[in-house]
Structure formats: structure tokens, C-alpha cells
Amino acid sequence: MPRKERLTEPGLYHIINRGGERRVIYLEPEDYEFFLDLLLKFLKDFEIILHSFCLMSNHYHLLLETKNSNISKAIQFLNEKYAKFFNKKYARSGHLWQGRYKSYPLSL
């Protein structure tokens, strides 16, 4: 059975992503800092408004608003760049994230 297609329409979204096997994805304070720097670039490049965020040791939550239909490409950018950083820094390979990120459209 194929996956449901993601909504990519402009709007407000609650995004969640978790480390594979619920493992820690931020091992040092510098990892949080890199993710936040990446998040700032992501917001600017994709013209996204960040309303709220929470970085936990093994997952993150973002409350985003986009005026364009680019939420999938934006989250792909964020997750891919952070996973490459993490794998290189800790000399590991393979998936960092547990499956697809969760995306919940919200209404105002």
C-alpha cells in the first residue's frame, strides 16, 4: 500500500522528527548549535517563519509557517544536512532519522 502524499500547501505545520531507534541525535552542545545555525539558514533560504521549536535529546519539534509550497524540500534540506554533519563528526554511516518526518497541518 503506498504512503499518503504529504500536504505541501502554504500554511502552518507541526513537524516532528526522531532519531533512529530513539537514539540521541545531539551528543554535545555543539550539535545543538549546529542544528540551530542550520535552522536559521533553512528559514532564510526557504522563506519560512518559525513560531516555536523544541530540541529534545532524541527528537525535535518545529511549528512552521510557509507561504510557498516548499515544506517538503525545506525539511529534506534540514534533515539531510544535519545527518551528514552528525555522521561525519562521529565517524558513522547509515540513517540518523527514524523513517519519514511527521508533518501535521494546522489551521489558524
pLDDT tens for 54-90 read 999 999 999 999 999 999 999 999 999 999 999 999 9
* Grid coordinates given for 39: 535552522
Q: Using CA atoms, how far apart are residues 102 and 104, in angstroms rounded to an integer? A: 7
**Torsional sign, CA 90, 95, 97, 101:** positive
Closest Cα to residue 82, out of 95, 73, 99? Answer: 95
Radius of gyration in angstroms for the set of CA atoms belonging to the chain, rounded to a whole number: 14
Using DSSP's 3-state secondary structure scheme, residue 36 falls into helix
More confident residue, 53 or 1: 53
For domain 11-106, say whether CATH 2.60.34.10 is its number.
no
